[in-house]
C-alpha cells in the first residue's frame, strides 16, 4: 500500500483503539503533523514496492520532532507489500509499553528471554 491508501488502512486499524483517529490534511510532509493522529501517537506512513524496509535516521528525527512538538509519541508505519506492515517505535517507549502489558504478567518471568533483571 502507498500514500493515502496506507493512511486510510492505518486509520481503520487504530480507530477501534482511539475513536478520534484521523488522517491529517495534506499529508505530514506539507502540514508538519505526521500522516495520522491516533490518541498519543503521531504516525508517519511509509509505503514502498521494494521487498526491504529501511528507515532513514533523518525520517525518524523528523517524525520525533513533529510528534514531540504536539506532545505525542512518534511511530513510523512501513508497508512493503500487502501482507507486510510493520511499526517502528523508540526502544524506551516499547519497553514502557511492555511493562504495562498484561502479556508480561501473564507469563512467568523465567520463560521470557531477557526479562530477568541483569540480563542483557
Integer-rounded Cα radius of gyration of the chain? 16
Confidence at 33, pLDDT banded by 50, 70, 90:
confident
Q: Where are the domains of the chain?
A: 3-89, 91-120
Q: Render pLDDT for 82-94 as a digit per residue (tens, 0 to 9).
A: 678 899 999 999 9
Tell me the whole-structure pTM to 2 decimals. Answer: 0.76
Neighbour tally for 35: CB within 10 Å: 24
Q: What is the pLDDT, as a whole number, of residue 88?
A: 93
Kindly report the CATH number that applies to the domain delimited by 3-89: 3.40.1350
Amino acid at each position: 500500500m502507498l500514500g493515502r491508501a496506507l493512511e486510510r488502512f492505518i486509520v481503520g486499524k487504530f480507530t477501534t483503539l482511539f475513536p478520534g483517529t484521523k488522517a491529517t490534511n495534506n499529508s505530514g510532509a506539507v502540514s508538519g503533523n505526521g500522516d495520522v493522529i491516533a490518541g498519543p501517537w503521531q504516525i508517519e506512513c511509509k509505503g514502498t514496492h521494494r521487498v526491504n524496509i529501511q528507515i532513514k535516521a533523518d525520517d525518524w528525527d523528523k517524525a520525533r520532532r513533529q510528534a514531540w512538538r504536539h506532545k505525542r509519541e512518534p511511530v513510523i508505519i512501513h508497508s512493503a507489500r500487502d501482507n507486510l506492515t510493520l511499526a517502528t517505535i523508540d526502544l524506551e517507549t516499547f519497553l514502557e509499553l511492555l511493562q504495562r502489558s498484561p502479556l508480561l504478567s501473564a507469563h512467568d518471568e523465567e520463560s521470557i528471554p531477557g526479562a530477568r533483571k541483569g540480563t542483557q
